[in-house]
Amino acid sequence: MRNAKKIALSLLILMLVSGCWNSKDIQNMAYVTALGVDYENGRFKSYAQMLNFTNIAKSDTGEVGKPVPIWVGVGEGKTLTESLTTMYATSQIRVFWGHLKALVLSENAMKHGMKEIYDMLNRYREVRYNILMYGTNEPLHEILIQKSILNFSPLDTLMDLPYQIYSQRSFILPEYGYKIIAQMNEPSGLAMIPCLTLDRTGWYEDQDKRSMFRINGAYFFQNKEFRGHLSEDDLKGTRWIQRQLVRSPMNIPDKGPPVATIVLQKPHLYVKPVIENGKARFNIRVSVDAYIDELIKDTPHKKMEEMAGDAIRDEIKMSFKKGLEKKADVFMLDEKLYRKNPKKWHEFHRASPYLLDADSIKTIDIRVSIESSGKYKQRVN
């Protein structure tokens, strides 16, 4: 009798235990992998790139080259939340945001401001912090339907895996959204958002042209204000402040017929602020390693290092000048002053929000060390 009561009590407890009533079949969800945000006429317009992972998962047969369809949902509203919510009305299945990898902002959205956009994304529990952020002047729909080379997965592109390309050609450093927001909140207030564009001339599939992603320059914010766009050519000098720089080629000399192409890596930047006549000026020193990738004309080792140093110095001066035109501190000199002399930084900023002018750089010292000439000796064969 006692055992029967125990069994009955156990059955009653089991009936009260909740089951998997709220579970979702993972194959019946739409996974958002990239989000585009535009702002026009006082309203947000959002574009959500969605993929069916059964189309891109690797199979036992290792099949590649099969076209993968990309779906893009479009929503609109007075707030970003409202624009995303309008997509749910017609999505047919549950939309999942946990696999969001990239955020692409139009120029209008960046001019409107970043705070509202990033506030919404960070608040939502499914969205992770490590989302790559880009700006663009391309139509967002065209960005989000871009296919990969050789019909690989749409996730195997420059937008989602930029560090693979950066390891071979280091120019514009990819940035995660949380780092960009952190930079905006720093006292110096400079933030750089890579510019994602479509190159429609460089690739063919048989006889047909195929567009491919390219990072062409960057957009700048100074003190949370949008300052505009600088191209990759304008920003050549800023690569020498990137400690993560892996491989960046350069012809030497930078003017006239080249005698060699060298590859530079691992730059070390040192900036020393000095106060002269009531203003801040800066001494810049760059040390960088290099190796010879192509030797066109026999040239002494020391001479090539000097030509490389001259080319780097010219690029730094050029990029600094381009930044001044936008009132963007592209070398983050203001931050160096804040770190090393915060008292003077506050004093200067009480008089003017932007401290730099054409005379702000006092000296530029470049030290290039060519470590290797490759498999050949340092001569033309």
Kindly indicate the confidence band of residue 190, based on its pLDDT and cuts at 50, 70 and 90.
Answer: confident
Would the pLDDT of 117 be above 90?
Answer: no
| Alpha carbons 227 and 356: distance in angstroms, whole number | 15
The confidence score (pLDDT) of residue 23 equals 54
The residue written with tokens 């080249």 in the block is: 258
Q: Name, of 61-70, 120-129, 343-352, the range with top average pLDDT.
A: 343-352
Would the pLDDT of 308 be above 90?
Answer: yes
| Alpha carbons 238 and 248: distance in angstroms, whole number | 12
- Look over the chain and give the mean of its residue pLDDT values, rounded to a whole number: 88
| Alpha carbons 232 and 219: distance in angstroms, whole number | 11
| Entry field: residues in the chain | 381
The confidence score (pLDDT) of residue 6 equals 65
What DSSP character marks residue 232? T
Q: Name, of 89-98, 99-108, 182-191, the range with top average pLDDT.
A: 99-108
| Alpha carbons 204 and 219: distance in angstroms, whole number | 29
Angle at 374 between CA 372 and CA 378, to 5 degrees: 75
The confidence score (pLDDT) of residue 213 equals 96
3-class state of residue 259 by DSSP = coil
Residues 208-213, mean pLDDT to the nearest whole number:
94
Residues 108-132, mean pLDDT to the nearest whole number:
88
| Alpha carbons 346 and 334: distance in angstroms, whole number | 11
Q: Are 111 and 148 in contact (CB under 8 A)?
A: no
- Mind listing the pLDDT tens digit for each residue in 253-279? 988 899 999 999 999 999 999 999 889
| Type of residue found at 316 | I
| Alpha carbons 100 and 305: distance in angstroms, whole number | 45
One-letter-per-residue 3-state SS of 126-137: CCCCCCEEEEEC
| Alpha carbons 308 and 314: distance in angstroms, whole number | 10
Would the pLDDT of 112 be above 60?
Answer: yes
Kindly indicate the confidence band of residue 376, based on its pLDDT and cuts at 50, 70 and 90.
Answer: confident
Residues 49-76, mean pLDDT to the nearest whole number:
73
Would the pLDDT of 192 be above 60?
Answer: yes
The residue written with tokens 């008089």 in the block is: 351
Q: For residue 31, what are the CA distances in angstroms to 27, 73, 85, 139?
A: 10, 11, 15, 22
Give the pair of three-digit tokens for residue 229: 């766009």
Would the pLDDT of 311 be above 60?
Answer: yes
* Number of Cβ atoms within 10 Å of the Cβ of 320: 22
Kindly indicate the confidence band of residue 69, based on its pLDDT and cuts at 50, 70 and 90.
Answer: confident
Picking from 165, 43, 14, 32, the residue whose alpha carbon sits closest to that of residue 104 is 32
The confidence score (pLDDT) of residue 24 equals 61
174: Cβ–Cβ under 8 A, 6 or more apart, which residues?
132, 162, 163, 166, 194, 215
3-class state of residue 243 by DSSP = coil
- Mind listing the pLDDT tens digit for each residue in 223-259? 888 999 999 999 999 999 998 899 999 999 988 899 9
Q: Are 266 and 240 in contact (CB under 8 A)?
A: no
The confidence score (pLDDT) of residue 234 equals 96
The confidence score (pLDDT) of residue 66 equals 73
Kindly indicate the confidence band of residue 32, based on its pLDDT and cuts at 50, 70 and 90.
Answer: very high
Residues 57-78, mean pLDDT to the nearest whole number:
75
| Alpha carbons 161 and 156: distance in angstroms, whole number | 6
| Alpha carbons 133 and 160: distance in angstroms, whole number | 10
Question: Between 23 and 366, where is the model more confident?
Answer: 366
Would the pLDDT of 62 be above 50?
Answer: no
The confidence score (pLDDT) of residue 335 equals 92
The confidence score (pLDDT) of residue 13 equals 66
* Number of Cβ atoms within 10 Å of the Cβ of 35: 25
Residues 40-59, mean pLDDT to the nearest whole number:
80
The confidence score (pLDDT) of residue 116 equals 85
pTM for the structure as a whole: 0.88
